[in-house]
Structure 1
Amino acid sequence: MHQLALAQVACLVAVWYAQNRHKQNSQIPRVVQLEGERVRNELMTKVLTNDQCRNIIRMSPSAFVELCNLLVKEGGLRPTTRITVEEQVAKSLYLLGHNVTNRALSFFFYRSGETVSRHFHNVLRAIMELEDKFLNQPDGSQVPSEIFNSNRFYPFFKDCVGAIDGTHIRVKVSPIDAPKFRGRKDFPTQNVLAACTFDLKFTYVLAGWEGTASDSRIIKNALTRQECLKISEGKYYLVDAGFMLKSSLITPYRGERYHLKEYSRNPPRNARELFNLRHSSLRNAIERAFGVVKKRFAIIRSSTEPHYGIETQKQIILCCCILHNYLINADPDEGLLAEVDAELNNNSEHQEENHSNRDDSDDARMGEFLRDSIAATMWLNYNM
């Protein structure tokens, strides 16, 4: 009954806004009664708070209205004869946020399964049309403010443009394909590579790789594919020890502490440890970004098998990242970020991939020289 109530509220949000878009009112009416096959949507004077709305449709009322406007103007989303844009978006947000089945949505909203599915895919396509607006790779022309405004990071990391990592998201594949998708987990996953800036906005997302694929293998593909990860000359990303060291991908020193929790009561003892500490402090942005987007959208964090095949799941992941970037400005949720930070702080588990073949290329040596230079300068400044 709880899920039914939440879904009906989301539906009423859409209907109410469709009927009252001319009103500059950011409050959403509350469902009083659910009965039989239809909702008696009597409105009470008491309204839902922003937090309650975030629990239902993953964003505030004002952010919801603005998103609908964007999906119409720039995403090409259109109403149908009987169903408004707002209802289509509300249903899709509820599905992304709560990971309900198509059959459940069909029951909740009193629409056919075909209608619900068609609207969901229409909304996904419209959201993906916003990719160029909300998911852009940095050109490196400016030093990130999170670095520039900190004497811990500036000028040492002045050429750093962001952080990169991979995350495993459960995937639905055939029994034949399952073994190559079954990596670290007991179930099939896809290894999703993503880059983000230090304000937690995703700048590049590559989904679909098998769970058994290593981060190094995926990053090599990302750098050479048609829609590639672009790194301006002289700039670099911070990555963990599972990646290869290059002039454009700076890893922490191996054999040294390199996770924030390891330094909680033990200050760095040498240049390499100091570098790893500050490297980890900055690179933590990608873990926080993954944490927030997964906590907001249950469809990509669920431990149960997805309801959609891998191609649709790839679209869903991209859409969740686009919505995440939109909400960073449209509806920042400090409470959600605090939850993620607390979980990351309490989670001491980490894995480091070991690569037996050392990369002796010129680019790797350039990366090593750059890292050593940063570490030496940083250590000298630290001891002044």
Structure 2
Amino acid sequence: MARHPLSARRGRRNAIFFNLTTSIMLVYYYVWFMFALAYRRKCWQIERRIKIRELRAENLYRLIGESDAMCISQLRMDRRTFHILCEMVRDVGGLKGTRNTSLEEIVASFLYVLSHHLKNRTVGKFFYRSPEPISRNFNACLLAVLKLHHLLLKKPEPIPEDCTDDKWKYFKVNSY
């Protein structure tokens, strides 16, 4: 078989080199494009987390901080009582806020579940959380509130036999 002339071999070698260089450049740009997409996706996730955190804070402020009327209608207690309960749950019950959830949000979600008789999924949508942390925080808050029973529940006093007060007559007659 005869060899091709030198100019044809040089042209073929240049074409192979050009194709190889172009392929390497395309792979290089493709890799950088993929890195850029991954970085942009990461930025979107961070922006989404920040936006959700802002929505949570705004929702909690609307629930607790805006007015007593809103707090009473949603949590069935006024703001002052809510903050006293938070302080009692923290000091006596031993409940602490987590890295992602404040103590006020835990207590507010607990009271919201109790006041409206809702499921974890529904409360999770209201507080922008998944149902699992809502359930975990509910159980932790319930345990802390149960530790407060000696402070929150008043022991009943028996009615003395020699009592002459009219308000006690009804209870004496109907007591078992």
TM over 0.5: yes
Shift of 1:133: 1.2
| Residue type at the aligned position of 1:68 | C
- Give me the CA root mean square deviation: 3.1
C-alpha contact (below 8 Å) 1:10/1:90 kept by paired residues: no
Q: Within 5 Å, which residues of 2 pair with 1:290-301?
A: none
Structure 1, unaligned stretches of length 5 or more?
Answer: 1-6, 17-27, 30-47, 161-235, 240-248, 250-384
Q: 2:110 aligns with which of 79, 92, 96?
A: 92
C-alpha contact (below 8 Å) 1:79/1:85 kept by paired residues: yes
CA distance in 1 between counterparts of 2:74 and 2:102 reads: 19
CA distance in 2 between counterparts of 1:57 and 1:136 reads: 22
| Residue type at the aligned position of 1:115 | P
Residue of structure 2 equivalent to 1:168: none
Q: 1:80 aligns with which of 98, 108, 115?
A: 98
How does the TM-score come out when normalised to structure 2?
Answer: 0.57
Secondary structure of 1:138's counterpart equals coil
Structure 2, unaligned stretches of length 5 or more?
Answer: 1-55
Q: Within 5 Å, which residues of 2 pair with 1:232-247?
A: 238-239=174-175
Residue of structure 2 equivalent to 1:58: 76
Residue of structure 2 equivalent to 1:136: 154
How does the TM-score come out when normalised to structure 1?
Answer: 0.28
Residue of structure 1 equivalent to 2:60: 11
Secondary structure of 1:106's counterpart equals helix
Corresponding pairs, count:
120
C-alpha contact (below 8 Å) 2:59/2:127 kept by paired residues: no
| Residue type at the aligned position of 1:58 | R
| Residue type at the aligned position of 1:11 | L
Shift of 1:139: 4.1
Distance change in 2, residues 1:138/1:83 (3 Å): same
| Residue type at the aligned position of 1:12 | Y
CA distance in 2 between counterparts of 1:136 and 1:102 reads: 31
Larger radius of gyration: 2
Task: Tell whether 2:126 aligns with 1:126.
Answer: no
Shift of 1:75: 1.1
By percentage of residues, which structure has more strand?
Answer: 1
C-alpha contact (below 8 Å) 1:68/1:89 kept by paired residues: yes
Shift of 1:10: 6.0
By percentage of residues, which structure has more helix?
Answer: 2
What's the CA shift string for 1:280-327, capped at 9, x where partnerless?
A: xxxxxxxxxxxxxxxxxxxxxxxxxxxxxxxxxxxxxxxxxxxxxxxx
